[in-house]
Amino acid sequence: MKRKPNKRRSKNIKIKRRNKKKRNISRISNKTLLKISLMLFVLSLVYLVCSSIKLPELPVRDIRFEGLGHLDHMELLGKINISKDTNLLDVDLMKMREKLLDEPRIKDAEVSRNFYSGTISIKLQLRIPVALISSNGIYGIDREGVVIDGEYDFPLITGLGISEIKTGMKLTGAKLELAFEVLDYVYSSNLESFASLSEISVGKPKNVVLFVGKEGMQIRLGRGNLEKKINKASAVMADLNSKGEKAYYLDLRFGENRVIVKPKK
């Protein structure tokens, strides 16, 4: 005959198990709290020690610029705002570099410090203009399309259709790239006939027009095969100069092998 389970005994066992679990959890919680308290104590101690340590006096003795070019030395010193009594350890080189790059004429900057000599060295890479652009004023522009203020003697790019220009703007667009394509070839080929290139008109992309010389002779390139057309125009201009002749325009819109010359009488 089977014995019936003792319900009261089973209930007591379950209660004991629950109590044991609670005690275990309580032990774990107490251990965790103890570890956290110990960590906080150690961190507080480290903070107090560090805050009481006085940094060594390492004053900035000199700030040297390399690659300054036409930029004003004092203007840049004002921009980085570092005096010569500043502790070298307090100088944030990354922030200093960011301040320098706010100047549109600076393409890149490398900043370093020398604790032995107390010197901050700043190596600059300036933006180099390749042309001029005009809208609400005349500005320089580098090969990346960044607008630079200043006075430069470069060909003027016209016909971009930009209503307002500001220093530091980065310009893009098919017309600008077309003008750069012409400039890249003219500068790289070092063609003597284009040494006096004064303007590149890209207002009508299907008819790129160059203006050369004091009298502004037109060279109508049209579109396509620009390098070959520029070479052909250079040869024709050299021939005209050798003969002492001048022309109103050269028209190469009908192919690089066909040049229409409108002579000046």
Name the residue among 220, 215, 127, 121 with its Cα closest to residue 169.
127
Q: Which residue has the tokens 């012409």?
A: 182
Q: Please give the C-alpha separations between residue 179 and each of 116, 218, 235, 251, in angstroms, as whole numbers.
A: 50, 15, 21, 18
pLDDT of residue 122 exceeding 90: yes
- Render the burial of 148-181: b for 16+ CB within 10 Å, e for the rest: beeeeeebbbbbbebeebeeebebeeebbebbbe
**pLDDT value at residue 64:** 92
**pLDDT value at residue 147:** 92
The CATH topology of domain 62-126 is Ubiquitin-like (UB roll) (3.10.20)
Name the residue among 182, 176, 178, 261 with its Cα closest to residue 227.
182
Within this chain, domains 62-126 and 129-263 share the same CATH topology:
no
pLDDT above 70 covers what percent of the chain?
A: 79
Whole-structure pTM over 0.75, yes or no?
no
Mean pLDDT on 158-179: 88
Q: For the chain, first and last CA: distance in Å?
A: 139
Q: What is the rounded CA–CA span in Å between residue 39 and residue 35?
A: 6
Banded model confidence at residue 236, pLDDT cuts 50, 70, 90: confident
Q: In what order do the strands lie in the sheet with 119-126?
A: 62-66, 119-126, 106-114
Banded model confidence at residue 39, pLDDT cuts 50, 70, 90: confident
Mean pLDDT on 46-56: 57
Amino acid at site 133: I
Domain residue ranges of the chain, discontinuous segments joined by +: 62-126, 129-263
> DSSP secondary structure string, 142-196?
ETT-BEE-S----PEEE----S---TT-B---HHHHHHHHHHHHHHHHT-GGGTT
**pLDDT value at residue 49:** 56
pLDDT of residue 2 exceeding 50: no
**pLDDT value at residue 259:** 85
At 223, list the tokens.
Answer: 């579109």
**pLDDT value at residue 91:** 86
15 vs 134, more confident:
134
Look at strands 260-263 and 138-142 and give their pairing: unpaired
Question: How many CB atoms are closer than 10 A to CB 10?
Answer: 10
**May I ask the CATH class of domain 129-263?**
alpha beta
Maximum Cα interatomic distance, the chain, rounded to a whole number of Å? 139
